[in-house]
Amino acid sequence: MVTLTDEAANKVKDLLAETDAAMGLRIFIKPGGCSGFSYGMALDVRKDFDRVLMNRGIQVLIDEESAPYVEGSEVDYVEGLTGTGFKIYNPNAVSTCGCGSSFRTKDEAGVPGSCS
């Protein structure tokens, strides 16, 4: 299960208000980033084989390949001096990069690369 904080849910609801009502928040991982895997998020429609979770009234869409890597994660939306945006707190990450947008797990190192 992936959960959203109140702040993240409110921000996603604001973004969804400007789109098609059938859309949800897609959370995925991809190879890359300085730690091996990078997070991705997008507003999207449900695809075949997606896991669909309802959290705070929002469809959270996760593809089968990404699901084990983000299981148990919490998505927050933060505003601060160092930046504003979504942050993922992932209990599966044993190492993260300085920017916080890439990670590795105990069993998977991914494909480290640029954090850009």
Residue 100: is its pLDDT beyond 90? no
Q: Give the pLDDT confidence score for residue 101 in this predicted structure.
A: 61
Q: Percentage of the chain surpassing pLDDT 70?
A: 76
Task: State the virtual CA torsion across 43, 44, 50, 55 in degrees, nearest 10.
Answer: 40
pLDDT-derived band of residue 83, with 50, 70 and 90 as boundaries?
Answer: confident
Structure letter (DSSP) for residue 16: H
Whole-number Å distance between alpha carbons of 112 and 103:
9
Write out pLDDT tens, residues 33-47: 666 678 899 999 999
Whole-number Å distance between alpha carbons of 79 and 7:
10
pTM > 0.85: yes or no:
no
Residue 70 in contact with residue 2, Cβ under 8 Å? yes
Considering the chain, what is the average pLDDT of its residues? 83
Whole-number Å distance between alpha carbons of 66 and 69:
6
Closest CA to 12 of 43, 40, 39: 43
CATH numbers and ranges of domains, the chain: 3-105 (2.60.300.12)
Residue 4 CB: number of other CB atoms within 10 A? 25
Residue 87 in contact with residue 75, Cβ under 8 Å? yes
